């Protein structure tokens, strides 16, 4: 069965939440990141794409980039833009886009479960991309990239999450520049945290990586590099039940057959 863990998040002061929020590091290049972060010293891109604060000809995989990420993260904490949660918690993360809302649980997922195949993969990973994330995690001492996991619905868990959302006020609720609304609640009640942990141990036999294969693989390798660090035994994830997940087509379009007939092209694809 699945092991999850609460954790002490390093998260924004409420007044900075919208400014800190940024797109994932791997959906935009350095030039795009620099444009998005321009004029916003609080953008998390200064940590996940720290080359934007270095000369334009800097190798994005150089040690200078990882050191700059650490320097920027330390500065975010000292200003303070970010603060460390006082005790381990779970977090509820809700996104609303185009009138549709989905809600998940932010937690630490077990590297041991990943290594045992209980966290299911469907993609191969590239060593150079893994190494980039490994170096980033090791140098900054933080997991700055979230892994999107899907899981079966568990009625008791869904009920806990919905009740907490109804009874408690969110710590953040803002609409980003791309019109996606982000809302987050902190589950700090120790008895409820233990109840959620037990639900996964007793009722969830596996989870599935929807996005973040390189982040997950890198976290597993960091754990091997830091065997004495208990926090490295878990990696940052958001778990969405099946009822919350929307799967949309992702289709490739071929515009040019490169002088092949359709039959020749299809035969080459088959081979």
pLDDT tens per residue, range 146-199? 999 999 999 999 999 999 999 999 999 999 988 999 999 999 999 999 999 999
Does any domain span residue 217? yes
How far is Cα 177 from Cα 42, in angstroms, rounded to an integer?
15
| Pick from 55-59, 211-215, 267-271: least confident | 267-271
Number of independent structural domains in the chain:
1
Q: What is the mean pLDDT of residues 197-209?
A: 98
- Candidates 199, 259, 236, 241; CA nearest to 102 is 241
Give the separation between CA 119 and CA 121, rounded to whole angstroms.
Answer: 7
Q: In the predicted model, is pLDDT for residue 271 greater than 90? A: no
φ, ψ of residue 268 to 5 degrees: the values are -65, -35
pLDDT digit string (tens) for 83-94?
A: 999 999 999 999
Q: Tens digits of per-residue pLDDT, 19-44?
A: 999 999 999 999 999 999 999 999 99
Does any domain span residue 50?
Answer: yes
Q: Mean pLDDT, to the nearest integer, of 194-223?
A: 97
DSSP states of 221-249 as a string?
HHHHH-TT-GGGGEEEEEEEEGGG-----
Q: Is there a domain that residue 268 lies in?
A: no
Residue 72 lies in a domain: yes
Residue 204 pLDDT > 90: yes
Cβ 80 vs Cβ 11: under 8 Å: no
pLDDT at 239: 98
Residue 84, class by beta-carbon neighbours within 10 Å (0-12 exposed, 13-18 middle, 19+ buried)?
exposed
Position 209 scores a pLDDT of: 98
Any idea of the CA torsion for 3, 8, 14, 16, to the nearest 10 degrees?
-100
CA distance from start to end of the chain: 40
pLDDT value at residue 252: 85
The answer to whether 77 and 16 are in contact (CB under 8 A) is no
User: What integer is the mean pLDDT of 248-261?
Assistant: 89
pTM for the structure as a whole: 0.91
Distance CA 229, CA 141 (A): 11
Mean pLDDT, the chain, rounded, equals 96
The CA distance from 122 to 245, in Å, is 17
Helix (H, G, I), strand (E, B) or coil at 84: strand
Nearest to 118 by CA among 32, 222, 237: 237
Instruction: Flag whether 264 is in a domain.
Output: no
Element (H, E) at 176: none
Is residue 177, in this structure, part of any structural domain at all?
yes
Report if residue 261 sits inside a domain.
no
Q: Flag the least confident range among 133-142, 149-158, 245-254.
A: 245-254
Task: Answer whether residue 227 shows pLDDT above 90.
Answer: no
Please give the residue range of the domain that contains residue 201: 4-244
Place of tokens 């141990």: 201
Residue 271 lies in a domain: no
Residue of 10, 176, 23, 186 lying closest to 92 (CA atoms) = 186
At 180 the pLDDT is 95
Reported confidence tier of residue 229, pLDDT bands at 50, 70, 90: confident
Q: What is the pLDDT of residue 44?
A: 98
Distance CA(186)–CA(99), nearest Å, equals 24
């Amino acid at each position: 069965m699945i092991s999850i863990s609460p954790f002490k998040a390093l998260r924004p002061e409420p007044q900075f939440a919208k400014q800190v929020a940024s797109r994932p590091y791997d959906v935009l290049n350095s030039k795009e990141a620099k444009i998005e972060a321009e004029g916003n010293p609080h953008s998390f891109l200064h940590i996940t794409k720290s080359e934007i604060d270095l000369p334009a000809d800097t190798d994005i995989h150089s040690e200078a980039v990882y050191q700059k990420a650490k320097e920027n993260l330390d500065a975010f904490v000292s200003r303070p833009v970010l603060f460390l949660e006082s005790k381990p918690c779970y977090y509820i993360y809700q996104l609303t886009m185009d009138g549709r809302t989905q809600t998940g649980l932010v937690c630490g997922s077990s590297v041991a479960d990943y290594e045992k195949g209980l966290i299911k993969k469907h993609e191969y990973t590239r060593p150079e991309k893994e190494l980039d994330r490994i170096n980033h995690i090791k140098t900054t001492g933080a997991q700055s990239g979230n892994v999107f996991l899907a899981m079966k619905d568990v009625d008791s868990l869904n009920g806990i999450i919905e009740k907490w959302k109804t009874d408690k006020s969110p710590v953040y609720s803002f609409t980003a520049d791309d019109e996606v609304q982000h809302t987050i609640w902190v589950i700090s009640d120790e008895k409820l945290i233990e109840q959620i942990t037990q639900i996964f141990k007793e009722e969830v036999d596996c989870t599935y990586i929807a996005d973040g294969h390189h982040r997950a693989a890198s976290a597993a390798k960091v754990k091997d590099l830091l065997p004495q660090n208990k926090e490295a035994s878990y990696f940052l994830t958001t778990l969405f039940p099946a009822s919350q997940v929307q799967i949309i087509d992702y289709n490739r379009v071929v515009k040019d057959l490169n002088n092949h007939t359709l039959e020749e092209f299809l035969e080459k694809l088959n081979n």
